[in-house]
Structure 1
Amino acid sequence: MRVVTCMMWMASLAYALPHGCVDTQQSVDAAAKLARTVISDTGIGTIMTLMDGSINPDFEGHPFGLMEYYNGDCYKNGDLLLFMSDLQMNARNAREQPNKVSFTVRALKDYNPSWGNRSTPVEQPRVAMMGEIKLVNESPNDDELMKCFATKHPEAKAWQQFHDFHFYRFQVESLYYVGGFGGINYIGWLPLHKYQHASNHGHMHLQ
């Protein structure tokens, strides 16, 4: 009874505390592997940058987030490949403060067993990544990059005709993971090396 009560209490505080109040049933290694799997499977998340004063001085320094496509299988270490337009506000912000970028991903399908008759998003994994974004190639017509990116988003091939699109690499430097309900699932910071060395199913890798 105490474990169940504590677990449910932790579920309501999943965003506030780094670990459960009882020993988690999910190891950090299993959490790192599942985080890598979720990131590999999903392909869509929210990129967060800091608003640049030249774009909107009234909200300079405020966090700004929008949905963005990515492919998490292109780099062996789990970095993300992005293909963004210069018109995208986050691309403009990131060019000014490339080392103040985060990216969040949540599971879009069930990875954990449900409580009751159906699963809810709060029961499933989500991860916040902090890091730096770098322009990979000024040209949108990089066949090797597009070949990998299009394995997740084939519709992006048509965007190469627009010269305002560029490839970016989001270099993951730190990860905070919420596996679901605390006590059952790991909640806390993931060691970077465990994430980087977790298998991503042998997908194609760029240099």
Structure 2
Amino acid sequence: MHLLHALAAALGVGLASASLLPQPQTIFVNPPAADVSRIPTVHESAVMARRILHLTGLGTLSTIFPASPTAQEDRPSDVGGTAIGLVDYIADCEHATGNPTILALDIATSFKNVAAGSNLSLSINWALPKGQVRSPASLPRFSLQGYLEDVSAEDLVEHAIPACFAKYHPDAQAWYPGNRIHSSRWARLVVKEVYWIGGFGDRAYIGWIPVEEWRNVTRKEVRDCVLPGEDRMSGWRAWLDFGDN
């Protein structure tokens, strides 16, 4: 009660009018646990994760700074050994493996750290379609643990990597390998482990997804999956096809 009086005073309103402030339950509306028939299985969670990868196009790459900066770097010396997470472009161009495609710019911090020996993880979260409001804590997100691997010339052609990536990020074509701005290369995150948080624990699976489950998700399962807040009739991101990539 004292906290409510203090909040009202800080806002310049009386206690009666302070009661008109939005309450948490009116800001985020989630289905009550009683409406959830069961918690999704590990495989169903893998399907949702693969659909999020297919639709999202963005993820946070987390790496570790090397102990000592290189001669070309200008950074504080005390960040050596600490982690940094930076958003980067990704694309789902190799469905058979579920390994995300990445356009690696050698000048970027994440890729300099990897070149210096850092391990790597990729975190992805599901963002609701525009106009929808729901507690972010209730929405699925996951982390992929693995390592970076260059994409071979044969795989570039087999999976039509440049064209696939352009569907997600048309602006990225300015940084494709061979550009005049930055040295770059095509790479994939080879997935070794998957950690999934499907939302609230009373209605979603939280835990590790075996990599075999991740890789064995079919195109039909990804196509038919409906994520929280998704209206399949609206054609949400329908331009991202499910071709043989």
Q: TM-score range by the shorter chain?
A: 0.7 to 0.9
Deviations 1:106-158 (A, max 9, x none): 00126xxxxxx9412211110011101123369xxx67421121121111112
**Alignment match, 2:113:** 93
Deviations 1:29-51 (A, max 9, x none): 11010011111110101000111
Q: Quick check: which one's helix share is greater?
A: 2
3-state SS of 1:73 partner: coil
Q: Quick check: which one's strand share is greater?
A: 1
Deviations 1:79-121 (A, max 9, x none): 01100211210010111225x10000000126xxxxxx94122
2:163 equivalent to 1:147: yes
2:212 equivalent to 1:197: no
Q: CA deviation at 1:74?
A: 2.8
Matches within 5 A, 1:1-207: 25-55=39-69, 57-97=77-117, 100-109=119-128, 118-136=133-151, 144-160=160-176, 161=179, 162-200=181-219, 201=223, 202-205=242-245
Contact kept, 8 Å, 1:36 with 1:199, in 2: the verdict is no
Letter in 2 for 1:30: E
3-state SS of 1:195 partner: helix
Contact kept, 8 Å, 2:106 with 2:182, in 1: the verdict is no
Letter in 1 for 2:166: A
Cα–Cα, structure 1 residues 96 and 203, in superposed 2: closer, same or farther, change >3 Å?
farther
Could you tell me how far apart the structure 2 residues matched to 1:76 and 1:146 are? 18
Q: CA deviation at 1:188?
A: 0.4
Could you tell me how far apart the structure 1 residues matched to 2:78 and 2:150 are? 27
Q: Aligned-pair RMSD on alpha carbons?
A: 2.3
Q: Identity, % of aligned pairs? A: 26
Contact kept, 8 Å, 1:137 with 1:166, in 2: the verdict is no
Query: Normalized against structure 2, the TM-score is what?
Result: 0.64
Letter in 2 for 1:51: F
Deviations 1:145-184 (A, max 9, x none): 2112112111111223234121111101001100011021
| Larger-Rg structure | 2
Letter in 1 for 2:170: P
